[in-house]
A = this chain, B = another copy of it.
Amino acid sequence: MGKHTIFFHNAPSIVCTYSAAGKKESEGPIGSLFDYVLEDDYFGEKTFEKAECKMLSTVIEKVIKKSGYRKSDIDALISGDLLNQIVSASFAARDFNIPYIGIYNACSTLTEGLALGATLTDGGYMSDVIVATGSHFSTAERQYRYPLEFGSVRPPQSQWTVTGAGAAIVSRKGKGPKITAATFGKVVDYGVSDANNMGAAMAPAAMDTLITHFNETGRKPDYYDLIVTGDLGALGSRILKHIISQNGYEITDNHVDCGEIIYNIDEKEYQGGSGAGCSAVVFNSYIYRKLKEKELNKVLFSATGALLSTTTTQQGETIPCISHAVALEND
Bound Cα distance A320, B4 (Å)? 34
Encode contact with B along A57-95: 1 for CB under 8 Å, 0 otherwise: 000000000000000100110001001111100110110
A308: chain B residues at CB < 8 Å are 85, 87
- Number of A residues near B (Cβ < 8 Å) is 55
Pick the contact of A312 from B76, B87, B120, B310 — CB < 8 Å?
Answer: B87
- Give Cα A255 to B315, complex, Å: 42
A49 (CB) vs chain B CBs: closest residue: B311
Is A211 interfacial (CB 8 A cutoff)?
Answer: no
What's the minimum C-beta distance from A249 to chain B, rounded to whole angstroms?
A: 20
Interface check A34, CB cutoff 8 A: no
Q: Is A112 an interface residue (CB 8 A)?
A: yes
Contacts of A72 in B (CB 8 A): 3
Chain B residues, CB < 8 A from A317: 91
| A104/B106 contact (C-beta < 8 A), A83-B309, A87-B307, A308-B87 known | no
Q: How far is the CA of A93 from the CA of B187 in the complex (A)?
A: 6
- Which residues of the other chain, B, contact A50 by a CB distance below 8 angstroms? 315
List 26 contacting pairs A-B, 8 Å CB cutoff, sorted by A: A3-B75, A3-B126, A4-B75, A6-B125, A6-B126, A49-B311, A50-B315, A80-B104, A84-B84, A85-B308, A85-B312, A87-B307, A87-B308, A90-B322, A91-B317, A94-B189, A94-B320, A100-B185, A100-B187, A100-B322, A101-B184, A102-B322, A103-B104, A119-B123, A119-B125, A123-B124
A-to-B contact residues, CB < 8 Å: 3-4, 6, 46-47, 49-50, 72, 75-76, 80, 83-87, 90-91, 93-94, 96-106, 112, 116, 119-120, 122-126, 184-187, 189, 307-312, 315, 317, 320, 322
